[in-house]
Amino acid sequence: MNKSTPNFSLEVEGVKGSCPAGEKWAKQNILDKKIPVLSCEGPCIRGDIARLAANTVAKEEPYARCCYAEVSLVPHSSMAQWVREADKIIMIDGCFLKCVGRILKNLVDEGKIVHIDALPLHKKYSDIFIMDDVPETERKEVASQVADKILNMLNERKEPRIMEG
Ligand code: SF4
């Protein structure tokens, strides 16, 4: 098995239309000048911790939750416009593979991204894949601790492009 992949690109089928709820959400957040918070989203436990932590961070001012898939795959959407035009973007990936951040930095100026690897912030579950193997209450507790660390770092403006615990 190869241990790395060189740069690559994917061909993606075009799409028409838009999600009415997503359009309304993104347009309001553009008007309110909210900072978008994106995450990778499971189903592995590391992705689920990133997702849950992103949900918590996004509840604080001046942040709001953003959909990475719509940003990446529906470029004509207001969700994508929001991220393209934001002065800063919070990107929380679940592990060192940084899957969604690697996409995002091809869509916007990399210097605007605060890219966070959540794994060093909890250092758990290296031998577990599926999130259901960790009880929901524990997942929420760990994600809450990760979100607190991220908010502290953001509040202290300790914002290197890649933040690690
Ligand atoms: S960054 Fe890690 S947790 Fe997130 S999607 Fe990629 S492999 Fe999964």
Q: Three-state SS across 7-39? A: CCCCCCCCCCCCCHHHHHHHHHHHHCCCEEEEE
Ligand 1 center from residue 93 Cα (angstroms): 6
| E strand spans, the chain | 35-39, 63-65, 89-93, 113-117, 162-163
Specify the pLDDT at position 160: 46
Ligand 1 center from residue 106 Cα (angstroms): 17
Specify the pLDDT at position 164: 53
> Residues 146, 164: contact at Cβ < 8 Å?
no
Ligand 1 center from residue 67 Cα (angstroms): 15
162 or 74, higher pLDDT: 74
Ligand 1 center from residue 98 Cα (angstroms): 6
pLDDT in tens, 6-51: 999 999 999 999 999 999 999 999 999 999 999 998 899 999 999 9
pLDDT in tens, 112-122: 999 999 999 99
Q: Does domain 33-163 have CATH number 3.30.70?
A: no
pLDDT in tens, 48-104: 999 999 999 999 999 999 999 999 999 999 999 999 999 999 999 999 999 999 999
Q: Whose CA is nearest to atom 2 of ligand 1?
A: 95
pLDDT in tens, 72-84: 999 999 999 999 9
Q: Which atom of ligand 1 is nearest to the CA of 46?
A: 3
Three state DSSP letters for the chain: CCCCCCCCCCCCCCCCCCCHHHHHHHHHHHHCCCEEEEECCCCEHHHHHHHHHHHHHCCCCCEEECCHHHHHHCCCCHHHHHHHHCCCEEEEECCCCCHHHHHHCCCCCHHHEEEEECHHHHCCCCCCCEHHHCCHHHHHHHHHHHHHHHHHHHHCCCCCCEECC
Specify the pLDDT at position 161: 52
Specify the pLDDT at position 162: 54
Does position 165 have pLDDT exceeding 80, yes or no? no
Pocket of ligand 1 (CB under 6 A): 40, 44, 46-47, 93-95, 97-99
Q: Whose CA is nearest to atom 4 of ligand 1?
A: 94
